[in-house]
Amino acid sequence: MKVLINGRLVDEKDATVSVFDHGLLYGDGVFEGIRVYHNRVFVLDRHIDRLYRSAKAIALEIPLSKEDMAAAVVRTCKANQIENGYVRLVVTRGVGTLGLNPYLCKEPQIIVIAAGIQLYPVELYEEGLSIITVGTMRNHPEAINPRIKSLNYLNNVLAKIEALNSGVMECVMLNPQGYVAEASGDNIFVVKGRTLITPPTWCGALEGITREVVMELAPELGYTVKEDVLTRYDLYTADEVFLTGTAAEIIGVGVIDRRPIGIGKPGPVTVQLAERFKEFTRVEGTLIE
C-alpha cells in the first residue's frame, strides 16, 4: 500500500511522522473519512469543505488549496487501485515542541491513506444493531465542539469502550442536557410514520456527510425530514431507528437498552433508504482517472 505524506507517495512501512508532531502528542489536527464506490470518490467536495471548516475552527491553516487536496485524494486512490474502499485524510498541526503552543509547530502534515474498511459484520445490516445508552456524554460545544472532526477522538473512544464492555458494538451518547446527540461514530435518525427526525448539530451531532445525503434523498421517496431534539423516550417509542456514517453507511437498530425498536430489526423505511443510498453511490462522486 502507498501512503501520501506531504505530496510524496511512500510505502506504508515508510509512512511515518515525528514523535514531536502535535497530532500525536495532543490530538491536534483534523481528519476526514471518505468512501470510494465504483471507482468514484463519494461526495469528495463535501468532505473537503468540512475538513477546511474543522481546520479553521482550530486555527489550523492548511497549506493546500481545496482543489489540490481533492487531487491528492484521487491520486492516492489511483496509486492503490482503489475501486471500492475507504480514504482517511489527516492534517496534523505538525512538528513542534513538548509544550502546548501550536504556533511553534512547523508545517502541517498532510496524510492520505486509501485502503478497505468494514465497520460492521454483514449480518447486522439484516438483523439490526443492539445498542445501549452510555454514561460518557458528548462534548459540550464550548469544550471541543462536536462539529469539529478533530484528531482528539477520546470522547468517542470512551463511549465505544463502554459499549464494547457491555457486549454491543455501538451506543447512544447524550449531550450535557440529556438530549440524544449521536452514536460513538455515527449519526442517529428516528422514524415516526413517514417522518425522519435527527438531532440538530447544536445538540452535539457531527455534521455528518451521510446524514446530509440521507436528508436529501428521503424527500425524493416521499418522506419528511426534520431536525429536532430527541430523548431516549423518542428512541424507545420510534417506529424505526437507524444510524448513518461514512463507514457504516445506513444500518438499522433493532434493540436499544434491551427494548425492541419497532419490529426488532431494520424496518421498511430503513431498508428503502439503504437501497436508494446504494443506487446514489453508483452515480455520484469524483472519478478516479
Cβ atoms of residues 43 and 209 within 8 Å:
yes
Domain that holds residue 80: 2-115
Q: Let me know whether 257 and 160 are in one domain.
A: yes
Q: What is the pLDDT of residues 197-221, one digit of tens each?
A: 999 999 999 999 999 999 999 999 9
Is 13 a catalytic site residue?
A: no
CATH number of the CATH domain containing 185: 3.20.10.10
Q: Let me know whether 147 and 225 are in one domain.
A: yes
pTM, rounded to two decimals: 0.95
Q: Let me know whether 271 and 205 are in one domain.
A: yes
Q: Let me know whether 263 and 208 are in one domain.
A: yes
Q: What is the pLDDT of residues 152-186, one digit of tens each?
A: 999 999 999 999 999 999 999 999 999 999 999 99
Q: Let me know whether 192 and 233 are in one domain.
A: yes
Q: Please report whether residue 287 resides in a domain.
A: no
Catalytic residue among 2, 56, 66, 149: 149
Q: Let me know whether 162 and 51 are in one domain.
A: no
Flag whether pLDDT at 119 surpasses 90: no
Nearby residues of 143 by Cβ (< 8 Å), 6 or more positions away: none
Q: Largest Cα–Cα distance in the chain?
A: 56
Q: Let me know whether 46 and 175 are in one domain.
A: no
Number of domains in the chain: 2
Q: Let me know whether 104 and 245 are in one domain.
A: no
Cβ atoms of residues 55 and 65 within 8 Å:
no
